[in-house]
Amino acid sequence: MVDVITYDVVQVTILSLYVSGSATILGALIGVPLGAAIGLKEFGGKGLLKTITYTMYGFPPVISGLFIYYVFSRAGPLGDFGILFTPTAMILAQTLLVIPLVAGVTISSVSEVDRNIKNTVLSLGASDRQATFTVIKEAWVGVITAVMIGFGRAIAEVGAAYMVGGNIEGKTRVLTTAIMLETRMGHFEYAIGLGVVLLIVACGVFLFMRWLQERELL
Amino acid sequence: MVAREGTTVNEILRTEGLTKEYGKKVAVSDVSISVNEGDVIGIMGPSGSGKSTFFRLINMLEPPTKGTVVLDGKEISTSDSDVHMTRRKMALVLQKPAAMNRSVFNNIAFGLQLRGIEDEEVERRVTDYLGRLGLAESKERNARSLSGGEMQRMCFARSVIVEPKLILLDEFTANLDPQNISILENAVRDFVKRGDAAAMIITHNPFQAKRLCDRSVLMMDGEFIEQGETSKIFSSPSDERTKAFVSGEMVF
Ligand SMILES: Nc1ncnc2c1ncn2[C@@H]1O[C@H](COP(=O)(O)OP(=O)(O)OP(=O)(O)O)[C@@H](O)[C@H]1O
Ligand SMILES: [Mg+2]
């Protein structure tokens, strides 16, 4: 039975981790500062921006895929990059999904840090940037949670990965798209087997992060 | 304070017509004061009269609606790009003590580290303050686990240790027992003894004002309705509202 799967499951798993891991890191690099800025600064339209961020939690992966597909398609504005149907395109599409989640959870965590902490830090002579950094540190557990939720969304989604990746064997096939393929071909055992791998990978990453956190390495 | 023969007393802080409105609410209204080196000034007044807001304006944590703050001879503004450098000349102990999620040592060291002071010097000064304020044994504890009194002493140490020109203390001994109060009051006396610094103290306790402050002001509905020698405010108030406030506050 095993010979039905002709592609390398290990490689597919590694690609999943690479694509979703990169999307999470990119999304965190953008989403954490964005969320901190929205959460800590006072400006007109702040409430609206928060609402938009929270609404984007529900942003459908297919729409993100469609957007990246359009932008990087041959006729699209960035078509010359030729990254459609490569892991890079998948990373970008997933990054779009990760950003609002990370930003949103960061907004809530920094808002929960006592407003007095920021004033205390400022009154001790910190610059605005140093104060923001200190508040992010105070909200650290929440920020890490935000990043983990972001990773959870990226590794689990299939729509964006399929649209801009194309599920090309040996090139852009990841766990979720492979499961879809096997199911469609009626190979339920393999689909379930891959599903178990996906579950182990996703939960394993979460467990590892928890482990780091408990040892205060994160 | 009276200038000694042959010396001039330098002005540390001056506010002119300082005003803060929150929508229709006028929290601070046209407030002017001058603070010299060596001064310890008491700010009293009922709850909601604008005392804490006044301190936040001085410390440039919020922009005033109107008016100016002159610190060490220079007019300052929240929109200055180097406002945090100006702020380093003052220290504000907030009404609600807030601890960063780190050790007592690292909380107290924070301001010194921001100023790029070397580790050995930081260690030396923090240890000195820990001892002075009876916190030596709590050095390694997470600051969030401190008791109320320990927390207030830590917050005080954390602000004073940077040796500001002006310290703003917002009800810094509220809820404390007499022993803690006297530790902190003595620390304020030590602080101004340096000679080139000043303190402003918000307090609801007229006896504390009498003990510590040469001059006091009485704030009501955002205005300074009385300003002068602390004892005079209590013995011969000029404003009717002061009389009512003073008689109320003095009854225990
Ligand atoms: N950010 C704000 N937005 C709206 N109103 C505010 C704000 N900060 C303070 N106020 C209002 O301004 C007034 C003065 O408040 P402030 O905290 O300065 O009083 P206070 O004299 O320190 O009182 P207390 O003795 O109770 O500490 C109050 O009516 C308060 O509700
Ligand atoms: Mg107050």
CATH number of domain containing B221:
3.40.50.300
Q: Ligand 1: which of B28, B51, B93 to mutate, judged by most atoms within 8 Å of the beta carbon?
A: B51
pLDDT confidence of residue B232: 87
Q: Report whether A188 contacts A195 (CB < 8 A).
A: no
**Closest residue of A to B95, CA-based?**
A116
Instruction: Please indicate, yes or no, if residue B149 is contained in any of the structural domains.
Output: no
pLDDT confidence of residue A66: 94
| Distance separating alpha carbons of residues B106 and B142, to the nearest angstrom | 9
| Distance separating alpha carbons of residues B202 and B170, to the nearest angstrom | 5
CATH superfamily of A9-214: MetI-like (1.10.3720.10)
Instruction: Please indicate, yes or no, if residue B221 is contained in any of the structural domains.
Output: yes
Ligand 1: atom nearest CA of B23 is: 4
Number of domains in chain B: 1
Reduced to 3 states, what is the DSSP secondary structure of residue B234? helix
What average pLDDT is seen over chain A? 91
Strand partners, B224: B219
- CB atoms inside a 10 Å sphere around CB B124: 11
Instruction: Please indicate, yes or no, if residue B79 is contained in any of the structural domains.
Output: yes
Instruction: Please indicate, yes or no, if residue B159 is contained in any of the structural domains.
Output: no
Q: Report whether B229 contacts B238 (CB < 8 A).
A: no
A109 close to B (CB below 8 A) = no
pTM above 0.95, yes or no: no
Instruction: Please indicate, yes or no, if residue B135 is contained in any of the structural domains.
Output: no
| Distance separating alpha carbons of residues B215 and B213, to the nearest angstrom | 5
The two structure tokens encoding residue B85: 């450098």
Q: Report whether B183 contacts B24 (CB < 8 A).
A: no
CA-nearest of B235, B230, B236 to B218 is B230
Per-residue pLDDT band at A5 (split at 50, 70, 90): low
| Distance separating alpha carbons of residues A125 and A131, to the nearest angstrom | 9
Instruction: Please indicate, yes or no, if residue B233 is contained in any of the structural domains.
Output: yes
Ligand 1: atom nearest CA of B219 is: 21
Residue B128: which residues within 8 A CB-CB, separation 6 or more? none
Supply the range of the domain harboring residue B208: 11-95+166-246
List the single residue in B85, B96, B114 with the smallest CB-CB distance to A124: B114
Average pLDDT over residues A177-195: 93
Separation of first and last alpha carbons in chain A: 43
Instruction: Please indicate, yes or no, if residue B205 is contained in any of the structural domains.
Output: yes
In single-letter form, the type of residue at position A201 comes to V
Q: In what order do the strands lie in the sheet with B66-71?
A: B25-36, B11-22, B66-71, B74-76
> Would you mind telling me the total number of residues written for chain A in this entry?
218
pLDDT in tens, chain B (252 residues): 444 555 567 899 999 999 999 999 999 999 999 999 999 999 999 999 999 999 999 999 999 999 999 999 999 998 888 899 999 999 999 999 999 999 999 999 999 999 999 999 999 999 999 999 999 999 999 999 999 889 999 999 999 999 999 999 999 999 888 998 999 999 999 999 988 999 999 999 989 999 999 999 999 999 999 999 998 887 877 777 877 777 766 544
Q: Report whether B203 contacts B44 (CB < 8 A).
A: yes
Instruction: Please indicate, yes or no, if residue B105 is contained in any of the structural domains.
Output: no
Q: Which ipTM was obtained for this model?
A: 0.89
- From the DSSP assignment, how many helices (H) and strands (E) are in chain A? 10, 0
- Report domain extents, chain A: 9-214
**Closest residue of B to A116, CA-based?**
B98
